[in-house]
Chains A and B, each alone.
Chain A
């Protein structure tokens, strides 16, 4: 079945850039999403990209999509301690269910 893979941990220093990577298997994906989950909280939509785009920028967030390699990345510029959270990559399967990766825990140290 369809799968979404992410690395589990990323540790950066405050002010650095963070890059979180994701690979997916469904070649018919139309939208790919990044969600953020803070401790004890729900899932917050950060950004999404349509499959016919290569890049999308939204303030400190940059999403890169390599459709040939089925690789998605999220870059957070000038990472702050408040960015510490779990980041989930998600693929929209057949326009209905979201298939999530296991999540990448981002730890930001000052």
Chain B
């Protein structure tokens, strides 16, 4: 167990809908990262938050957004969902020091029908 929790574990929804994925980092970690794992794109970095502030953006679509709250948990919001958004979404956390090891949560499996 990495200490990173993600909810829900599975999510099934329809095209055009909006969903929110939640992540709680390890105790004491200030950084939260979101990654998407799909069969065609592999594991891709989406966005990084540190202590409530956005620090870096990767291949994140404009339909997707994230935030990190004062208690350091983070939410990833996916809207106007398309079939191609079906994937495994991982959250990872670290202390926030550059190069520090990232510990991954179990992921949320999203299926868009």
Known: A31-B99, A42-B2, A43-B90. A96 touches B104 (CB 8 A): no
Does the CB pair A99–B104 fall under 8 Å? no
Q: Are B45 and A98 in contact (CB under 8 A)?
A: yes
Beyond A41-B106, A102-B42, whether A95 also contacts B98 by CB under 8 A is yes
Residue B25 is within 8 A (CB to CB) of chain A in the complex: no
The distance in angstroms between the C-alpha atoms of A100 and B103, with both chains bound, is 14
Task: State whether A92 touches B42 (Cβ < 8 A).
Answer: no
Interface of B is mostly: strand
A12, chain B: closest CB distance, angstroms: 23
Which of A31, A42, A97 interacts with B45 by CB under 8 Å?
A: A97
B42 touches A33 (CB 8 A): no
Tell me if A88 counts as interface (CB < 8 A to partner B).
yes
B22 at the interface (CB under 8 A from A): no
Chain B, interface size category, equals 20 to 34
A88 nearest CB neighbor, chain B only: B43
Closest 3 CB pairs of A and B: A95-B98, A97-B45, A100-B43
Residues of A in contact with B (beta carbons under 8 Å apart): 30-31, 33, 35, 41-45, 48, 88, 92, 94-103
A-B contact pairs, 14 of them (CB 8 A): A30-B98, A42-B2, A42-B90, A42-B104, A43-B90, A44-B2, A45-B2, A45-B101, A45-B102, A94-B56, A96-B33, A96-B56, A98-B92, A103-B42
B contacts, CB < 8 Å to A = 2, 33, 35, 42-45, 48, 55-56, 58, 90, 92, 98-99, 101-107
